[in-house]
Amino acid sequence: MKKLYLIRHAKSDWTYEGLPDIDRPLNERGYRDAHYMSKHLFSKKHQPDGIITSPAIRAINTALIFSRNLDFSENKIQINPALYHGTIEAFIAQLGGIHEDLKSVFVFAHNPTITKVLNILTDSKVEEMPTCSIACIEYKENSWKATQSASMLWFDFPKNHPQ
């Protein structure tokens, strides 16, 4: 079975007036939440075979934190421009293009698209994925193209874990 982890980037910093959206970094809470959630995944033995991220700095930073805490080589992180302000259709098309040898993939992206993709893939009713939230999705067929046969196994976010 294929497992997809949809992960919304951690909390970003809005203090730099005039900074382009794509360049916004994480704030202190974002760093803390990304470390906590990735270490929590590691303790539960969740391990990626692949990591794909939006090119936005806050998404890349979140992916880097997860990769370090999950012992995943940073050099293997793929940056995909279609995950930054792309359409739902483009996002889902990117998922269908994941190499079939990969069984477990972490995808870091943005609202509102990531929430909409989660709800489309799994028929879920998640209103909004909070920052640094994780939705674990299992494909019933052993192909990334089988987007019509996925179900959400669990959904977690930092406020579920008082730190």
**Residue 16 resides in a domain:** no
Q: What is the pLDDT along the chain (163 residues), one digit of tens a residue?
A: 899 999 999 999 999 889 999 999 999 999 999 999 999 999 999 999 999 999 999 999 999 999 999 999 999 999 999 999 889 999 999 999 999 999 999 999 999 999 999 999 998 999 999 999 999 999 998 999 987 779 999 999 999 987 6
Task: Classify 3 in phi/psi space as left (phi over 0), alpha (psi -120 to 50) or beta.
Answer: beta
**Residue 145 resides in a domain:** yes
**Residue 64 resides in a domain:** yes
> In this predicted model, what pLDDT tens digit does every residue of 27-72 receive, in sequence order?
999 999 999 999 999 999 999 999 999 999 999 999 999 999 999 9
**Residue 151 resides in a domain:** yes
pLDDT value, residue 45: 97
**Residue 79 resides in a domain:** yes
State pTM to two decimals: 0.97
Question: What is the number of structural domains in the chain?
Answer: 1
pLDDT value, residue 149: 78
Residue 145, domain extent: 2-11+24-160
**Residue 19 resides in a domain:** no
pLDDT value, residue 146: 83
CATH number at residue 146: 3.40.50.1240
Say how far apart CA 137 and CA 153 lie, in whole Å. Answer: 6
